Structure 1
Amino acid sequence: MDLARSIARSIVGAAQNAPRRPGRRRGGEGSGGRSGQPGRQPGRGRPRTSGAFPDERDPQLLDTSLGRLVSDQGWAMDLKVRGVFGRWSQIVGEEVSQHCAPTGLVDGRLTVRADSTAWATQLRLLAPTLVRRLNEELGHGSVTVIDVEGPNLPSWKKGRLGSRDGRGPRDTYG
């Protein structure tokens, strides 16, 4: 028992006389202070709290977060265009939307495919009105020209003796 006490006294005496390293708490390496973990200082590793004033670490509304994401990525115009494509029947009317659909918008040129040549002609006549309505939805100058494509027609040019002018049967396909 005396041997154990003398060893304990020598260890405590050596620990008190040893030079301290910066950043260590007084209790030594094993005490851990108030954090309860060996060698860990209180306050370290904990997430910072925002305090009394709002900042970016506070919970955000979904609308605000999505709006920031859209503006940071530059998706605003693309989302507007897709919204117009989704509401095409409301913008142009039910009857027109049953016979034509938008296929793309690149550099102010809206491409619309019609299901017959008659509807393609009708859409060409409606183009100025459609440009105005689409610019009201997307913003001024977003759509400058509407390119109307007719239906996908079969080719009548077959073989080496085909007609040069490409004239096939006189049908409108629809």
Structure 2
Amino acid sequence: MGYTKAPESLSSVLGNLLKKRGWERKIKEFQALANWPKIVGPKVAENSKPVRIEGQKLFVRVENSVWKNELVFMQKEIKEKLNKSVNGEVIKDIIFVN
């Protein structure tokens, strides 16, 4: 019949497609944004919201300057946890704005 290639799993095919199209990074970025409440906890999540990721910078809107200062102190830990949650380094910096 001429067809000799072994079948690939759907997971493998989708993974290759995501890499080819450059979507893998975007999906990880979206996952990092979605993981925000779980990473920072309910109290912080009530007073902050991740807005977007641009060039590995996560922009987070905060309720006020008190929360901004608090989150600046937690920035390194938050960044590490977010990156770990998506198994990759999608965030290198976090910018807090109010």
Tell me the equivalent position of 1:62.
10
Deviation of residue 76 (structure 1)?
A: 1.1
- Structure 1: runs of 5+ lacking an equivalent: 1-47, 151-174
Q: Deviations over 1:133-172 (max 9, x none)?
A: 22323424x322211001xxxxxxxxxxxxxxxxxxxxxx
**Residues of 2 paired with 1:87 and 1:134: CA distance?**
7
Does 2:30 match 1:79? no
Does 2:90 match 1:90? no
Check whether the contact 2:50–2:61 (CA below 8 A) recurs between aligned residues: yes
Match of 2:91, SS state, is coil
TM-score (norm 1): 0.49
Identity %: 23
Match of 1:147 among 91, 95, 98: 95
Q: Deviations over 1:24-65 (max 9, x none)?
A: xxxxxxxxxxxxxxxxxxxxxxxx562xx4x17x5x432222
Match of 1:116 among 21, 40, 64: 64
TM-score (norm 2): 0.80
**Residues of 2 paired with 1:146 and 1:68: CA distance?**
30
Number of matched pairs = 97
Deviation of residue 102 (structure 1)?
A: 0.9
- Structure 2: runs of 5+ lacking an equivalent: none
Match of 1:97, SS state, is helix
Higher share in helix: 2
Deviation of residue 101 (structure 1)?
A: 1.2
**Residues of 1 paired with 2:60 and 2:68: CA distance?**
9
